[in-house]
Each structure stands twice: as structure tokens, then as C-alpha cells.
Structure 1
Amino acid sequence: MTAEPVWWPRAPTVAAGRVAVVTVSYNTRELTAFLLWSLRTIVAWPDLEIVVVDNGSGDGSAQYLAEAARAGVCTLLANDGNRQHGPGLNQGISHLAARPGPHPEWVWVLDSDVVATRPDVLSAAVGTAREHAAALVGEPQHDRWHADGRFGLFSLLIDPAVVWRGSVGPFTDGGDPSSDLLASAARQGIQTAAFPFTADGHVIHRGRGTLAAVHAAGERDHPLYAWAETHHAAHYAEVPGADQRYQALRSRFRKEVSLI
């Protein structure tokens, strides 16, 4: 059973400029390792921490992430089973909310199949948030289910002091865990700002990384298996040239990081 979220303290001590990445891993060992490498190798930000929630992966992800945590690369929250994406994000942000000591100023939610490609991604995104006094910064993502548009959850910067409240969150289970949170934020007039994470090449979103893993493993008991059968191919956010840049960067990653 999924624990109730722990909401952000009302008057936290804030470590100004600290950004905490929260990502959820499920049988995406190499993709998650690629993400961590990019955050630690490419992103230029003086105070960056990473929290990875592993949802009971059976592909060696948990072992790799435990080693990464011991090396100080990230904090690992390891689950025995698959809590799904939204509840996993709730778990990661709740960990930050409940932790004693200074709290991060920003939480950057990332999919495990994203890779950061520009050193200035956080300085640009945080700068956009501050310029517009925004508590949510993301890339507009239009689809047939949301004609008015939504921010893509693959890369979403949030001010947890404003957003991580019972009146706004949490993330939900299902195919679009951020839909209710974003709709609630809009109803309450929480300021948002658009930022071209993929369109301007700050990150590359492979897309459908977990679906690809579910399909490859033939995981028929997974709730998204039927969807994964026909929607497991990478889409790279349909950004021209992103697939070639992704493959070139992955070649560099594989030369520098040994995954046995």
C-alpha cells in the first residue's frame, strides 16, 4: 500500500539555489545510469542532489543504484515492488519534505529516459522561473486528450514550497500522473512558465523507456503492457536531430561508464 504524501513544511529552512532531482526507475538500468552520468558530468550547477526511487526493478537497476548511492552519486529509495510512476514521485518528494535540515529551493522531476545535454539547463530554467515568479516550469505538451495543453512530466521544475501542498498535489497513478496536479495548480492561479527543455536541446527525452522495458521483458502483468505492445518505440519528442545527438552522447557515456 502506498504511503500518504508528506507535504512541504510551512516555514522550512531553505538552502538557496539547491536543486533536488527526483526520478523513478523501473527496469531502465542503462537509461537511468545515462541520466545520472549526464547530471553529474554535463550539468553545471553548484548545489545539485539526486533522489532515485527504484520500483523493484529486476534488471540489475537496484544493485547499480545501490553502488551509485554508496559512491555519493545519488540517494536511493528502493522499493520491493512496483509502486508505479506517480506514487514513486510522491515518495521521492516526500522524502525531501520529511528530511531534517535545509530543504532544496527547487525540485526537478525527470523521467529516467531523459538525458541532460547542456551545462546551462538549470541556470536557464531556474532563471525563467525567477523572471516570471513561477512555481512550475515545464515544456508545453499538446495531445488529443488535453486540447488546452499540459506541461510534459518528463522535465518539470517545481517550487515545492508552493506546489507540494495537499491542495495541489500529489501525483497520481496511471498514464498521466501530473494531470490532476497541473489542473489543480491552474485552478488556484499558481504561476507557471514555459521552458523549451527539449526544443532548445537542454535535454533529450528518449521517450517510452519504461514501456520499452515492459515490452522487451514480456511483462504481461504490468498495467501498461497492452499499451507498451504498440507504443514502445523511442520518439525523442519529435525534435529534429535529437536521436543522432542522443546516440552520440550515449557512445561517450558507454566509453566512460562500465555497466557489467
Structure 2
Amino acid sequence: MSEPAPEVSVLLVNWNTREMTLDCLRSVYAQTTRTRFEVIVVDNGSSDGSAEAIAREFPQVRLMAEAENHGFARATNLQAEVARGEKLLLLNTDTVVLDRAIDNLVAFSREHPEARIWGGRTLYADGSLNPTSCWGRMTPWTSFAFATGLSAAFPKSKLFNPRAYPGWLRDSARHVDIVTGCLFLIDRDFWRELGGFDRRFFMFGEEADLCMRAAKRGARPMITPDATVIHYDGGSTRNRAGKLIHTFSSTIGMIDDHFPPRSRASSRRMVVAAAGIRALGYGLAAKLNKERFGGSAATWGEVWRRRSEWRRGPIEGELNPASPRR
């Protein structure tokens, strides 16, 4: 008699996070007891021995050891093509599953099928709230608030920083605009209906784009505090300038794809201005206090110099760290 199909396919994309990934996998198997699941790991050409370590400790994992770094979107699409689960759970490698989080999230999805996309609550390693498990959608107003620094100056303001859902501790079930990809559950059939992630997004922005496309088909994403994980955040992204460049390029892509035509050009200019304002501000601050602001000045200076790379939209592929100064 054949083994029943898994209820959930847990999808992890690994890139040089061997120890974090192993810890994540240990927590998945230890904490998931009520749900039939399979685990599929794509290793994006890691150089730290990740693939060998995963295969040795977790022979039951379906390991796709790739020779190159496909990025998050393309790697996840590869996993989804071979997944057998009724649902797909995207789980970051820099997470640790707590308190039956996967079991609870699957149960929550069955209680709220109308959401069609589900997420949970994330904590930092010290147990404090990591609010990045969900976001509000981008709008021309949020682009303006970010560019002018209003969202940073007034982080607790629902007017100036609405994307962060200020004042809400992620301690109640709620509809949200964007469930982030660190803990992201979706029906496999709906994933395929949407065509998966847009391959143009190498990293950052892919789940926001997917959620906004899903909303046009009636989805109302939700998160639940009963599904909680530790999310260390940025385990495979240590180059802050590179992360920001990819983030800005993805933001431009989101504007082009989802903003009303009449507001696209002005919103694009706002994004470029945001980088310029920060490069100028941190550059001036570093002249007064290099020890405190020198690192940020260098980071934002690089983002600004390389604006010709990101202001065209999503960057498909890894960044060249030796990109010439502009």
C-alpha cells in the first residue's frame, strides 16, 4: 500500500548557512508531530559544506544540490515543481520552529480557507518580537513617507509608517497585506494558479509581489500568533549594501507592476530620492562622527553610486561586489 501524500511540503532554500539550516531542520522534525510533511531543500551552490552536512544528518530530506545560486524566487519555484504536499510552506533557513508552529499553522489554514495565504509570528533570538513576519502593501503614500524619512522619524505612527502595522504586537489573528517568505503557507494549487514567484526577483520582494497578485484573485492573507518561530533575519545576507540594492531594485519592480500608471514615475523618483537623501545625510554625519556613522555612510554611498543598476527594476542574479564606482 502506497504511503499517503504529505499534507505539507516544507521548502528551505540554503546558501552558506549550514549550521543555521541544520538547526532549523532539527526543529522542524522535533516540533511537527500532527502533520504529514516532506522537506525539500535547495542548496544554492554553497561553499560551506551545507549540502554534504544536510545529506549526512537528514537522509530523509529531498536535497537539490545546485551548482549555482539561483536566488530565492527561482530556487523556490524549482522546489514547488516537485513538491507533493497539498500545501507549500516556505521556511527560512535562519529560523527555529517553536511550540508546534507548523502543526498550528496548518490547522489555522483549515479554519480560515478564505485567506489562501497564511503566516505566523516571528521572534528574535532573545525572545523579543521580530515584526517582519508581515507588512502592509506599498502605496504612493508609503513611498513618499519612506523617501522623506517620515516613516523612520515616526515609526509608531499609523499615518507615516502604515506598512509596519505599528501598535500591533502580532499577538492576534489578523488579515494582512503581505506575509513574508520566512514563514509562508499557501495551497499548492493556488501557487500554481499564480504561476509561483516572478523569476525576475532574485531576492526580496517576491512574496510581496505574489501576495498582491493573490489579492487580485480574492486572497486575504492572515497571520496567527499560534505559529511562532525564531527568525534571526539575514542569515545568508551579510552584505548590507547588496541587500539594499536588491531591495531597491525590487521596490522599483513592485511600483512598475502594481501602482496606478499615473503614480509610477513620481513613486520611482521617490525611491531614488530616498537613497540619495540617506547617502547625503549619512555622509555629512560621518564627517562629524566617523566612528558612529562611517559604516552607514559607506553603505548608502555604495547604494547611491550603483543606482544605475537598481533603478531599472529587479536585478536577476547575484550582484558583482566589485562593481565600479559611479
Shorter-chain TM-score above 0.5: yes
User: Structure 2 residue aligned with 1:142, among 135, 140, 144?
Assistant: 135
Tell me, in whole angstroms, the C-alpha distance in 2 between the residues paired with 1:33 and 1:193: 28
Match of 2:180?
Answer: 152
Q: Which is worse superposed, 139-148 or 54-63? A: 139-148
| Contact preservation (8 Å) 2:18, 2:53 | yes
Match of 1:128?
Answer: 108
Tell me, in whole angstroms, the C-alpha distance in 2 between the residues paired with 1:227 and 1:105: 32
Offset of 1:64 from its aligned partner? 0.8
1:207 aligns with 2:233: yes
| Contact preservation (8 Å) 2:179, 2:221 | no
| Percent identity of paired positions between Structure 1 and Structure 2 | 27
- Runs of 4 or more, structure 1, over 3 Å off, are 14-17, 143-149, 223-230
Tell me, in whole angstroms, the C-alpha distance in 2 between the residues paired with 1:227 and 1:88: 17
Match of 1:113?
Answer: 94
> SS state of the match for residue 51, structure 2?
helix
Return the structure number with greater strand share: 1
Counterparts of residues 175-190 of structure 1 (less than 5 Å): 175-190=204-219
User: Structure 2 residue aligned with 1:32, among 14, 18, 21?
Assistant: 21
Counterparts of residues 163-178 of structure 1 (less than 5 Å): 163-165=191-193, 167-171=194-198, 172-178=201-207
Q: TM-score, normalised by structure 2?
A: 0.54
> SS state of the match for residue 104, structure 1?
coil
Match of 1:66?
Answer: 55
Counterparts of residues 8-19 of structure 1 (less than 5 Å): 15=4, 18-19=7-8
Match of 1:87?
Answer: 74
1:232-257 Cα shifts (integer Å, max 9, x gaps): xxxxxxxxxxxxxxxxxxxxxxxxxx
In the superposition, relative to structure 1, how do residues 195 and 178 fare at CA in structure 2: closer, same or farther (>3 Å)? same
> SS state of the match for residue 46, structure 2?
coil
In the superposition, relative to structure 1, how do residues 86 and 18 fare at CA in structure 2: closer, same or farther (>3 Å)? same
Tell me, in whole angstroms, the C-alpha distance in 2 between the residues paired with 1:188 and 1:25: 31
Letter in 1 for 2:196: G
Return the structure number with greater helix share: 2
Match of 1:244?
Answer: none
| Contact preservation (8 Å) 2:11, 2:89 | yes
Unaligned runs of 5+ residues in structure 1 are 1-13, 97-102, 231-260
In the superposition, relative to structure 1, how do residues 15 and 186 fare at CA in structure 2: closer, same or farther (>3 Å)? farther
Q: Larger Cα Rg: Structure 1 or Structure 2?
A: 2
Equivalent residue pairs, number: 197
1:83-124 Cα shifts (integer Å, max 9, x gaps): 11111111111122xxxxxx31111100110110112x2332
Match of 1:162?
Answer: 190
Counterparts of residues 217-256 of structure 1 (less than 5 Å): 224=243
Offset of 1:127 from its aligned partner? 1.9
Letter in 2 for 1:31: M
> SS state of the match for residue 194, structure 1?
strand
Letter in 1 for 2:30: T
Tell me, in whole angstroms, the C-alpha distance in 1 between the residues paired with 2:232 and 2:86: 28
Letter in 2 for 1:95: V
Tell me, in whole angstroms, the C-alpha distance in 1 between the residues paired with 2:11 and 2:196: 15
In the superposition, relative to structure 1, how do residues 16 and 94 fare at CA in structure 2: closer, same or farther (>3 Å)? closer
Q: TM-score, normalised by structure 1?
A: 0.66
1:161-180 Cα shifts (integer Å, max 9, x gaps): 12222x45324323222122
Offset of 1:29 from its aligned partner? 0.3
Tell me, in whole angstroms, the C-alpha distance in 2 between the residues paired with 1:20 and 1:58: 26
Tell me, in whole angstroms, the C-alpha distance in 2 between the residues paired with 1:224 and 1:59: 21
Tell me, in whole angstroms, the C-alpha distance in 2 between the residues paired with 1:168 and 1:91: 12
Offset of 1:135 from its aligned partner? 2.1
